[in-house]
Amino acid sequence: MAAARRARDPRAGFRRPEAEPGPAVPQGLLRAARKSGQLNLAGRGLGEVPQHVWRINLDTPEEAHQNLSFGAADRWWEQTDLTKLILASNKLQCLSEDVKLLPALTVLDVHDNQLTSLPSALGQLKNLQKLDVSHNQLRSIPEELTELPRLKSLLLHHNELTHLPEGFGQLVNLEELDLSNNHLTDIPTSFALLINLVRLNLACNQLKSLPADISAMKSLKQLDCSKNYLETVPSKIATMASLEQLYLRKNKLRSLPEFPSCKLLKELHAGENQIETLNAENLKHLNSLSVLELRDNKIKSVPDEITLLQKLERLDLANNDISRLPYTLGNLSQLKFLALEGNPLRTIRRDLLQKGTQELLKYLRSKIQADAPSPAGEPPLTAITLPSQARINMHAITSLKLLEYSEKQAAVIPDEMFDAVRSHPVATANFSKNQLSEVPPRIVELKDSVCDVNLGFNRISSISLELCALHKLTHLDIRNNFLTSLPEEMEALARLQIINLSFNRFKVFPSVLYRLGALETILLSNNQVGAIDPLRLKNMDKLGTLDLQNNDLLQVPPELGNCATLRSLLLEGNPFRTPRAAVLARGTAAVLEYLRSRIPA
C-alpha cells in the first residue's frame, strides 16, 4: 500500500526504478527521527536514499494508518523537523534533488559513498551548517553550494576535484574547509573573503602557488598545504596574526618566509622540502613556537638565534647537511625532543646522539660552561660511585622501609645497599636519577616486600626478569629511560596499579599492559606510540587514567569512548586531527562522549 502511494507521488519521478534501493529503513528509526530530528542511516548498504526519507516531514507516517489510538508519545503530527541526516558509508552514486524537501537540515553527512556529483538543490538548504561529502568521487561542485549563508563546516577531502566555483567567497560564515586529497591546481581569489575561516586544509593537491590574498583570512589558525608543488610561500602569509599551525611539508620550498606578525604561531612543519638556509630573520619573531619540524631538507647550519625560541618543545632537524650546532641550543629549557640523526655532525659523537634529548642538551650546556671553574670543595661527578661513598641510611630502611640510592650518577647500585636490607624488609626502592643501564639484578631480593620501585631518569633499555619477579609491586616508575618494549613476563605483576613509562622510546603500546588487570594508571606520554586497541582497553575495568600526550597517534579510535572507567584521558600533542583541540579542552567526559558519537551505527 505504501509502495503504491509512493508510485502515485509526482515527486517519485526523481527515483530510478531500475536502481537497487538496498535494505529498507526500519520504521522504528523513522519514528525516532520524527521525535529527535536526527536520522542516522550510516553503513546500511543503501544504493539510493528511499523516497520516504526525503519526505519524512511531509507524508503521513505508516503507523498513522494502522493505529487510530495515539498515546502522548505517538503524536506524529507533533513531529520535529529533520535537522541531522547521516548517510555515510553506503553505496550512493547520486543524491536526489528532493534533498530540498528537508529545509531544516543543519547537518548533512554523506561521506564515504560513490557520489560523482551533487544536486544543485543543496543550495536551498539555507539552515545547513555542516556538510560532509568527503571520500567520494566528486569532480566538481555546483555553484549553488556557495549560496549557503549559515554553512560553517565544509568537508570535501578525498574526492577528484580539479577546480572550485569562483563564488566560494560567498560562504562568509565558513569556519572549517577541508579540500585535501583532490587534484586542485589553483585556489579562487575569492578565498580572501572567508574572513571567519579557522581551519583550511589544502594538503595533497597539485598547487604550485598560493594567492597572496589568502593573508586576508584574519581568523585562520590552521593552514595545511602539505604535499603540493609550492616553490614559494607568499610573503604576506607572514602577516596572518591568528595563525597557530602551518604545515608546508613535502613541497619544493627553497626557503622559509619571515614571520614578523605571526606572534601566535605554535607549530611550523616544513620537512621534506629543499630548504638550504635557516636565517635569524626566519625565527626571531616566533615567540610562541613550540614545534619546529625541518627534517629532510638541505640546511647547512643552525643560527644562534634559535635560542630565542624559548617555548620550543620539539625540534626536528634530522637528515639535513648540518655539520655543527650552536652550543647555546642547550639553553632551550622547554625542549623535550631533538632529532639530529642523518646529519654530518663533526662536533658531537654518534653515541651521544643516541642517548636522547636531555643528555644531548646537557652536553651542549657543558660546552658553554667548559671554561667555568668548578665550585670549591665539590668532587667531580663520575660515571660510577664507589661503595665507600654509599652512605647507607639505616633510619630510612628500618623506620620508613625505604631503600634509597638516587641522584648519585651511579652506573651500578653498590652491593652493600642490598646487604643492608637482608634482615630489614623494605616497601620502597628508589634508584632514580643515576646512570643505570640495566635493572639492578639484586632487586629480586626485595620480591617479598617491595611495593614501590622508582628507576626513573636512568639509561635502562630493557626490563629484566628480576623485576618481573616482584610479585607485590603496585607502583613502578621507569620514566625517562631508553625502553622500546616490555617483556611478556611482566604479566606476573598482577598487583601493579600504577606504571609510569613517560619519556621513553615506545613506538607500540606494550601489549602486556592490556593483561595487567589491576592497572589503574598508565602514563605513556612523550613516546612515539602510533596506535592503541580500544577493545582491549575497555576490558581493563580498573583503568582510570591514561596519559598518551605527545605521541604519534594519527587517529583516535571512536570505540575508546566506550572505556567507561576512564576519568582522565590525556591526548594533547598528537598528530591526529580529530578530536579537535576545542573538544580536548573540555575534558575527559566530553572527549569520551564525542568519541562515542563517532562510532558507526
Calculate mean pLDDT across residues 116-127: 96
| Every domain of the chain and the residues it spans | 396-597
Please tell me whether residue 182 adopts helix, strand or coil conformation.
Answer: coil
In this prediction, residue 2 carries a pLDDT of 36
In this prediction, residue 591 carries a pLDDT of 93
Cα distance between residue 270 and residue 261, in whole Å:
19
Calculate mean pLDDT across residues 507-513: 95
pLDDT in tens, 302-344: 988 888 898 999 999 999 999 888 888 888 989 999 998 888 8
Q: 601 falls in which pLDDT band (50, 70, 90)?
A: confident
pLDDT in tens, 424-449: 889 999 999 999 999 999 999 999 99
Cα distance between residue 1 and residue 9, in whole Å:
13
Calculate mean pLDDT across residues 184-205: 94
Q: 171 falls in which pLDDT band (50, 70, 90)?
A: very high
In this prediction, residue 236 carries a pLDDT of 83
Calculate mean pLDDT across residues 564-583: 89
- With a cut of 80, say whether residue 580 has pLDDT above it: yes
- With a cut of 70, say whether residue 367 has pLDDT above it: yes
Calculate mean pLDDT across residues 369-389: 39
Calculate mean pLDDT across residues 479-490: 94
Burial category of 42 from C-beta neighbours within 10 Å (exposed 0-12, middle 13-18, buried 19 and up): middle
In this prediction, residue 540 carries a pLDDT of 93
Calculate mean pLDDT across residues 210-233: 92
In this prediction, residue 569 carries a pLDDT of 93
Q: 66 falls in which pLDDT band (50, 70, 90)?
A: low
Calculate mean pLDDT across residues 219-223: 94
In this prediction, residue 215 carries a pLDDT of 86
- With a cut of 50, say whether residue 103 has pLDDT above it: yes
Beta pairing class for 314-316 and 337-339: parallel
pLDDT in tens, 134-161: 999 999 999 999 999 999 999 999 999 9
- Whether omega for the bond prior to residue 579 falls within 30 degrees of 0, making it cis, is yes
User: Could you say which of 3.80.10.10, 2.60.120.10, 3.40.50.970, 3.30.390.50 is the CATH number of the domain covering 396-597?
Assistant: 3.80.10.10
- Rounded alpha-carbon distances, angstroms, from residue 161 to 158, 487, 507: 9, 49, 36
- With a cut of 80, say whether residue 164 has pLDDT above it: yes
- With a cut of 80, say whether residue 371 has pLDDT above it: no
- With a cut of 60, say whether residue 15 has pLDDT above it: no
Number of H helices, E strands in the chain: 12, 21
- With a cut of 50, say whether residue 379 has pLDDT above it: no
Q: What is the full DSSP assignment across 482-540?
A: ------GGGGG-TT--EEE--SS--SS--GGGGG-TT--EEE--SS------HHHHHT-
In this prediction, residue 21 carries a pLDDT of 47
- With a cut of 80, say whether residue 165 has pLDDT above it: yes
Cα distance between residue 114 and residue 135, in whole Å:
8
Beta pairing class for 402-404 and 337-339: unpaired
Highest mean pLDDT among 10-24, 276-290, 563-577: 563-577
In this prediction, residue 383 carries a pLDDT of 34
- With a cut of 50, say whether residue 221 has pLDDT above it: yes
In this prediction, residue 65 carries a pLDDT of 55
Report the share of the chain in percent with pLDDT over 90: 61
In this prediction, residue 407 carries a pLDDT of 85
- The values of phi and psi at residue 314, to 5°, are -130, 125
Q: Among 145-154, 418-427, 493-502, 514-523, which stretch is predicted with the lowest mean pLDDT?
A: 418-427
Residue 34 amino acid letter: R
In this prediction, residue 294 carries a pLDDT of 96
Please tell me whether residue 152 adopts helix, strand or coil conformation.
Answer: coil
Query: Is the model more confident about 584 or about 390?
Result: 584
Mean confidence (pLDDT) of the chain: 86
Q: 586 falls in which pLDDT band (50, 70, 90)?
A: confident
In this prediction, residue 77 carries a pLDDT of 56
| Secondary-structure percent of the chain, ordered helix, strand, coil, rounded to 5 | 25, 10, 65
- With a cut of 70, say whether residue 7 has pLDDT above it: no
**Nine cell digits for residue 482:** 631508553
- With a cut of 60, say whether residue 53 has pLDDT above it: yes
